[in-house]
């Protein structure tokens, strides 16, 4: 192999790698990215994202690792994710198939807004991050009173 051919080979491999990366980072058709809500939500939660988990900020979930997030059916919910470190993170709902933008700098913020329909799991879509702890429960509760029949 000549030097030039070796260079071309390496360049081609790099391009293929980039193409695969780009495909992986793109927005799949079935996942909508819902950033920056236009109106206030019924329920708002703020989480700080780290490899070790999402940490609640403010309110009842303050300081809680991967807190259970709750809402009533039909409520609009906004989850604000603040990046706690120099890593790429996002937040998505497994069943409802919504996903925030990716954030990669400390204090960078993104939001996920959706309507509460059913119990779900929130998690980070970056490969390996669920395994290190970035996963929690989203619970849709019946309005008070319904549980007593």
Q: Tell me how far apart the alpha carbons of residues 123 and 144 are, in angstroms, rounded to a whole number.
A: 27
CA angle 38, 123, 71 (to 5 degrees): 55
Q: What are phi and psi of 98, to 5 degrees?
A: -120, 150
Minimum separation from the CB atom of position 132 to Cu ion (A): 8
Minimum separation from the CB atom of position 79 to Cu ion (A): 14
Does 89 help bind Cu ion (rule: CB under 5 A)? yes
| Count of other CB atoms within 10 angstroms of residue 20 | 10
Nearer to Cu ion, 96 or 100 (CB): 100
Does 79 help bind Cu ion (rule: CB under 5 A)? no
* Pair 107, 83: CB distance under 8 Å: yes
* Pair 44, 55: CB distance under 8 Å: no
Q: Tell me how far apart the alpha carbons of residues 114 and 138 are, in angstroms, rounded to a whole number.
A: 12
Residues near Cu ion (CB under 5 A), total: 5
Residue from 129, 136, 138, 140 binding Cu ion (CB under 5 A)? 129
Does 61 help bind Cu ion (rule: CB under 5 A)? no
Does 126 help bind Cu ion (rule: CB under 5 A)? yes
Choose the binding region for Cu ion from 38-46, 53-61, 66-74, 118-126 (rule: CB under 5 A).
118-126
* Pair 110, 101: CB distance under 8 Å: yes
Does 81 help bind Cu ion (rule: CB under 5 A)? no
Residue from 54, 124, 138, 140 binding Cu ion (CB under 5 A)? 124
Does 82 help bind Cu ion (rule: CB under 5 A)? no
Residues near Cu ion (CB under 5 A) are 89, 124, 126, 129, 134
């Amino acid at each position: 192999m000549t030097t030039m051919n070796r260079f071309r080979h390496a360049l081609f491999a790099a391009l293929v790698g980039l193409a695969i990366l780009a495909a992986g980072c793109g927005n799949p058709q079935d996942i909508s990215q819902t950033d920056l809500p236009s109106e206030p939500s019924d329920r708002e939660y703020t989480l700080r994202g780290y490899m070790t988990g999402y940490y609640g900020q403010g309110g009842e979930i303050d300081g809680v690792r991967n807190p259970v997030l709750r809402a009533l059916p039909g409520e609009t919910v906004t989850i604000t994710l603040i990046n706690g470190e120099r890593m790429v993170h996002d937040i998505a709902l497994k069943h409802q198939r919504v996903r925030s933008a990716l954030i990669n700098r400390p204090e960078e913020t993104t939001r996920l807004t959706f309507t509460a329909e059913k119990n779900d799991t929130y998690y980070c879509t970056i490969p390996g991050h669920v395994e290190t702890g970035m996963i929690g429960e989203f619970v849709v509760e019946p309005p008070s009173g319904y549980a007593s029949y």
